[in-house]
A = this chain, B = another copy of it.
Amino acid sequence: MNADSTKSWQAVQAEVLRRIRDREWKPGELVPHEAELARELGCSRTTVNRALRAVAEDGLLERRRRAGTRVALHPVRKARLDIPVIRVEIENRGLAYSYSLISRAEELPPPAVRARLQSPPDHKMLHVLGLHLAAGRPYALEDRWIDPDAVPEAREADFSRISPNEWLVLNVPFGGGDIAFSAVEAGPDEAEALDCAPGAALFVTERTTWRGSRMLTTVQLLFAPRYRLHTRI
């Protein structure tokens, strides 16, 4: 047990956070450089580096080579959002998950989708509509478009038992992605599927994923009213 000469990087991090909190290091101010801190805290520079890097990743410090490390003036807090597969999300709440396919077709996407997927005007896409249910009640409506050229196996996939959401995670190697959250009013169809009043405010997440520069799929997830996306900072 490293009585006291050894400080773990977490201990250093805690000390750094304390100094920021207690305004020992003021916002915008330059903090001692790594070597200096290492000497002062009785640990190696590597350890100090690890700690400072972690704090900087949370947005409380800003680091630039040569310029040194300074306390962030406008701390842009970095929250981490977990984006699980919907089935897992529901099961984690201890609810029974089920899923039902509403429709599946190969058709021309609307302009908005075409723009997101950067596809040529007359390129047909796989369009899958499905409903995720938690404990038998509508949870989220999945409105997905898949580029069958980029994901040929999708043509064979059976989306009646497994949602595109989960099928894609399992079968398509991940790539980059883009997520947006917003709110929309429920249209008549959506209201019926989600069993809510038309015009109700729905939480929406829209995701577009690609691999390399190839767009793969875009999805709109409409959550039933009272859904909350939750995280800690």
User: A residues within 8 Å of B by Cβ?
Assistant: 20-23, 27, 59-60, 74-85, 88, 169-170, 173-185, 199-204, 211, 225-233
Contacts and interface: CB of A to CB of B under 8 A. Distances in A.
B181 A181 contact: yes
Q: Which of A21, A85, A169, A174 has the most CB of B within 10 A?
A: A174
Nearest to A227: B182
Q: How many copies of the shown chain assemble into the complex?
A: 2
A77 to B, nearest CB: 4
14 contacts: A75-B169, A76-B88, A77-B177, A79-B81, A80-B80, A176-B232, A178-B233, A182-B203, A182-B226, A183-B184, A183-B203, A183-B225, A185-B199, A201-B202
A82 B78 CA distance: 5
Nearest to A83: B77
Contacts of A77: 82-83, 174, 177
